Amino acid sequence: MDAARIGGVAGVAAIPVLAAGLYLGLAWAPPDAMMGNVQRIMYVHFPSWIATAIGYVVALVGSGGYLARRSPRFDWLAHAGVEVGVLFNVSGLVTGSIWGRPTWGVWWTWDPRLTTTAIMLIIFTGYLLVRAFIEDSETRARVAAVVAIVGFLNVPIVYLSVRWWRTLHQIQSSPETVAPEMVVALRVMMGAFALLAVFLVARRYELARLEAAAEAAEDRVDG
Amino acid sequence: MTAQDWRRAWAVAWKDLVSERRGKTAFNAMAFFAAIVVIVFGLALGPDRPSFVAGEETLLQYLAPGLFWIAVFFAGVLAVARSFASEIEGGTLDTLRLYPGDRRALCVGKIVANCALLIVLEIALLPMVAVLYSVDLWSRLPSLMGVALLATVGFATVGTLFAAMTATLRAREVLLPVLLFPMLVPLVLAAVKATTLVLRGDMMGELAVWITLLVAFDLVFLVVGTLTFEYVLDD
């Protein structure tokens, strides 16, 4: 199955799931006992991290595949994964910050998860920056792949180091301790965001393929 | 790597160090820059003793480990960038690439040379920090050098990899620090924490954790760096 097909299926499927998830999260699930309606941002916040993880894992697979096979398809996949990952990384950080202000009283704390995800965003934004500065498509794919792999491997080390540096964070709730409606709404939204991520990665992959074709055509005209 | 590759790595490191000793292009710029950073921090933060600092320390004494490592890492970026820029200016990078044998030898050689350069910088910078910030470093010099060595190996490894990657690019002066510093977050935390604990005493026995992290960082990136180095260089 080609990328356009996968993207189309995921995109069409994402619409009703996203609509259902929004209804469940915003209207059907009860407000939080302590935080009230503020807590509902969690239905966007946590799924954003699922989508971020999908994006970056796709990028890792694409980058490893590129170095092993040297096929531009893997490079397009890696580029698409990073862009989608960065998008949802920003969405996760912003929604988390908005939630943190009324709940913790601050927009930002140097908690391990916050710090690690911010560093992750900087590392993968660096990936996009490097790509923008290399004209030769093979060099670009090669260097970008190394940046993505090394950057991905660094994330758990960053997390460990920041956790040892600052050990004052709250533990996330487990499904047993929250209202079952909340769990259902969150699961549906996680599914919706996963579909959305797959859709966006597939679209970006198609775009990268077309960009490469345009670049090749341009070279033929110039040459 | 075979024994021959190790000899090749040593040859690359030796070549870099000899040309650095004769020309001192990287070292002079780097040492001067690091010294300026240390002085500017002193001016910006002031020699006072603010009320929020516990005990009898001044602000500069309190912050000395962090300031020292920021100065070293900022200056170190110049050193690792220089180690590939000079090859490109001289047109010798292609020559190095053409030599037979494992590419990893080239990578290891560059890492060793950059490590040596940074250690010399640290040895020059420590007395300066001790005097300007009036910190007592001398009684703890051996453990301090141990921490410095571990942090330097990690910095040189990641720095060499990213310098090789950006050496031929446009805007490399911007790209190298932008890519390098996020990667160094664990190293900065561990180096500063370990140095602080060495200087201020390790009451809670936390030092071992940070030394472990430094060793782990060094090992992970020595392996990953040498394995990916050939993809960074090949054309």
What is residue B201's DSSP assignment? -
Contact B182 A164 (CB under 8 A): no
Q: Give the distance, in angstroms, between the CA of residue B91 and the centroid of all CA atoms in the same chain.
A: 26
How many residue pairs from chains A and B have C-beta atoms closer than 8 A? 79
Residue A36, SS3?
strand
At CA A133, angle to CA A148 and CA A214, rounded to 5? 95
pLDDT digits (tens, 9 = 90+) for A42-71: 888 989 999 999 999 999 999 999 999 999
Q: How many residues can be counted in chain B? A: 235
Residue A142 · residue B232 · CB < 8 Å: yes
A180-222 helix and A72-104 helix, angle to the nearest 10 degrees: 140
Structure confidence at residue A171 as a pLDDT band (50, 70, 90):
low
Cα A20 to Cα B48: distance, rounded to the nearest angstrom: 60
Binned at pLDDT 50, 70 and 90, residue A168 comes out as very low
Give B49: exposed, middle or buried? Use CB within 10 Å, 0-12, 13-18, 19+.
middle
Q: Which residue in chain B is spatially nearest to A138 when comparing CA positions?
A: B235
Q: Name every chain A residue with its beta carbon within 8 A of the beta carbon of B232.
A: 142-143, 146
Q: Closest-CA residue in chain B for A115? A: B185
All residues at 6 or more sequence positions from A153 whose CB lies less than 8 Å from its CB, including other chains = B220, B224
Q: Is the pLDDT of residue B169 over 90?
A: no
Using the Cβ of B190 and the Cβ atoms of chain A, whether some distance falls under 8 Å is answered with yes
- Nearest chain B residue to A120, by CA: B182
Whether A147 and B231 lie within 8 Å, measured CB to CB: no
Average pLDDT, chain B: 87
Q: Considering just the CA atoms, what is the radius of gyration of chain B in Å?
A: 19
Q: How many CB atoms lie within 10 A of CB A220?
A: 8
pLDDT score for B74: 93
List the single residue in B158, B193, B213 with the smallest CB-CB distance to A160.
B213
**Residue of A120, A160, A167 to mutate, interface with B, max B Cβ within 10 Å:** A160
What's B54's DSSP letter?
Answer: -
Chain segment B205-216, per-residue pLDDT in tens: 788 888 999 999
Count of Cβ atoms closer than 10 Å to residue A109 Cβ: 14
Whether B96 has its CB under 8 Å from any CB of chain A: the answer is no
Residues B229/B161, Cβ–Cβ less than 8 Å: yes
What band does A120 get if pLDDT is binned at 50, 70 and 90?
A: very high
* Residue from the list A126, A142, A164 with its beta carbon closest to the beta carbon of B182: A126
Task: Name every chain B residue with its beta carbon within 8 A of the beta carbon of A164.
Answer: 189, 193, 209-210, 213
Helix B59-89 vs helix B141-166: angle between axes, to the nearest 10 degrees? 40
Determine the Cα–Cα distance for residues B151 and A176; give it in Å rounded to an integer.
43
Residue A111 backbone phi and psi in degrees, to 5: -75, 150
Q: What is the nearest CA distance from A97 to chain B, expressed in angstroms?
A: 21
Q: Which residues of A71-92 are buried (b: 16+ CB within 10 A; e: fewer)?
A: ebbbbbbbbbbbbbbbbbbebb
**Geometric angle at alpha carbon B133, from B116 and B59, rounded to 5°:** 120
Is there a contact between A147 and B179 if contact means CB atoms under 8 Å apart? yes
B216/A153 Cα distance (integer angstroms)? 12
Query: Residue B66: pLDDT above 80?
Result: yes
pLDDT at A169: 44
Q: Which residues of chain A does B210 touch, with a Cβ-Cβ cutoff of 8 Å?
A: 164
Per-residue pLDDT reduced to its tens digit, B104-116: 888 899 999 999 9
Nearest to B132 by CA among B194, B44, B201: B44
Write the secondary structure of A116-134 as one string of H (helix), E (strand) and C (coil): HHHHHHHHHHHHHHHHHHC
Q: Is the ipTM of this complex over 0.95?
A: no
Which secondary structure element, helix H or strand E, spans residue B22, and what is its range?
helix B3-23
